[in-house]
Amino acid sequence: MTAKSPLTYKASGVDIDAGEKLIQRIRSAVGRTRRSEVLGSLGGFGGLFKLPVDSYSQPVLVSSTDGVGTKLKLAVKHDAHDEIGIDLVAMCVNDVIVQGAEPLFFLDYFVTPKLDVDIATRVINGIARGCELAGAALIGGETAEHPGMHAEGEYDLAGFCVGVVEEDRLIDGSTITAGDSVIGLASSGPHSNGFSLIRQVLELTSEGANTLVNGHTIVDQLLVPTRIYVSSILKLLETSQTKGLAHITGGGLTENIPRILPDGLGARLERSAWPSLPVFDWLSKSGVTMQEMLRTFNCGIGMVVIVEPSNTKTTLAALESYGEKAWEIGKIVEDKKQNIYVR
91-141 confidence digits (pLDDT tens): 999 999 999 999 999 999 999 999 999 999 999 999 999 999 999 999 999
177-216 confidence digits (pLDDT tens): 999 999 999 999 999 999 999 999 999 987 888 888 888 9
- In degrees, rounded to 5, the angle at the alpha carbon of residue 338 between the alpha carbons of residues 332 and 339 is 85
Contacts of 34 (CB under 8 A, 6+ apart): 137
**φ, ψ for residue 105, nearest 5 deg:** -145, 165
Where residue 3 falls among pLDDT bands split at 50, 70, 90? low
Nearest to 37 by CA among 163, 129, 137, 161: 137
CATH superfamily placement of domain 16-169: PurM-like, N-terminal domain (3.30.1330.10)
Domains of the chain, residue spans? 16-169, 181-342
Evaluate if residue 48 carries a pLDDT over 70: yes
Where residue 332 falls among pLDDT bands split at 50, 70, 90? very high
Please give the model's pTM, rounded to 2 decimal places.
0.96
**Amino acid of residue 4:** K
245-296 confidence digits (pLDDT tens): 999 999 999 999 999 999 999 999 999 999 999 999 999 999 999 999 999 9
181-342: CATH topology? Phosphoribosyl-aminoimidazole Synthetase; Chain A, domain 2 (3.90.650)
Contacts of 60 (CB under 8 A, 6+ apart): 101, 164, 165, 166, 167, 170
